[in-house]
Amino acid sequence: MNFINLIKTEFILDIKKLTSYKVSFLTDIFMFFIVLFTTLITGLDSAFANEYAIDINSGKMMVLIGFIFWQISSTALGWSSANIRGQSLSGTLELKMQSKYPTELLLLIEMLTYLIISFLSFFIIFIIFIVVIKGDLRDVIYILTSYIVAFPSLIGMYGIGLFLGGISLEEKQVGSLTFILQSALIFLSDLTSIKGRLFNIIPFNAGIKIIRQMYLGYQVEGYLIFDYFIVNILWVIFGVIFFRYILKNVRKNGSFDNY
């Protein structure tokens, strides 16, 4: 019951906090819309249509599925790393460290709150996209399914966010590094082209392939499910271990006093 009350309280507080960042939130939506538009005009939909021998509208859906995974994973990464730095500056991170609940859990709840709210906005954009390509109810269902299947990748990207957030506690500034990583993931992931199994080390890559196989009516390959869960479990374990090590170090050295 205490855990449920924790989630409820954090959820309410985070929603109130997010209302103070309307401009930043709208800017994120605009930027992702530009990225989606740019991705489509590059002809990737035609490339996927040719690769899978499907019609052009289905090719657009293949691009959209990849974009959905990248969008929410990129948001999870950017939000978690920036939130850690912001809270270290404001002093609230130290308060979280004194809670009986793990700091990583409290930060995770905050991230999920933000993603739930952003989902509502981005979903509207995706529905407009479906209307433009003259999609149907099946396409809408696969958009929703993509969000559900993407959940493990959020956990993995959160692990990377903890890693970058931990670095920011020591180096004080990793905003540029986070942006570069978010951008690089577009070209390294299965969003833009067909990649080998090695690239499944990217948290959301195997998830993209799983949904695309489902959408095309193929039987989902077992190794993709294995890669998807193992990779994301390893990323979050790595992130938590590194973040706790950094927290222990900055507390020991009094680094919070330098902000």
* pLDDT tens track for 68-122: 888 888 888 888 888 888 888 777 787 777 778 888 888 888 888 878 777 777 7
Q: Give residue 240's pLDDT band: very low, low, confident or very high (50, 70, 90).
A: very high
Largest alpha-carbon pair distance within the chain? Answer: 60
Which residues are CB-neighbours of 128 under 8 A, at least 6 positions away? Answer: none
Q: What residue numbers bound the domain in which 114 lies? A: 2-258
Lowest-confidence region among 35-39, 62-66, 82-86: 35-39
- Residue 27 pLDDT greater than 70, yes or no: no
- Residue 211 pLDDT greater than 80, yes or no: yes
Q: How far is CA 144 from CA 38, 49, 151, 187, 210, in A?
A: 23, 22, 12, 24, 14
Average pLDDT, the chain: 80
Entry pTM: 0.83
* pLDDT tens track for 130-156: 777 777 888 888 888 998 999 999 999
Domain count, the chain: 1
More confident residue, 233 or 89: 233
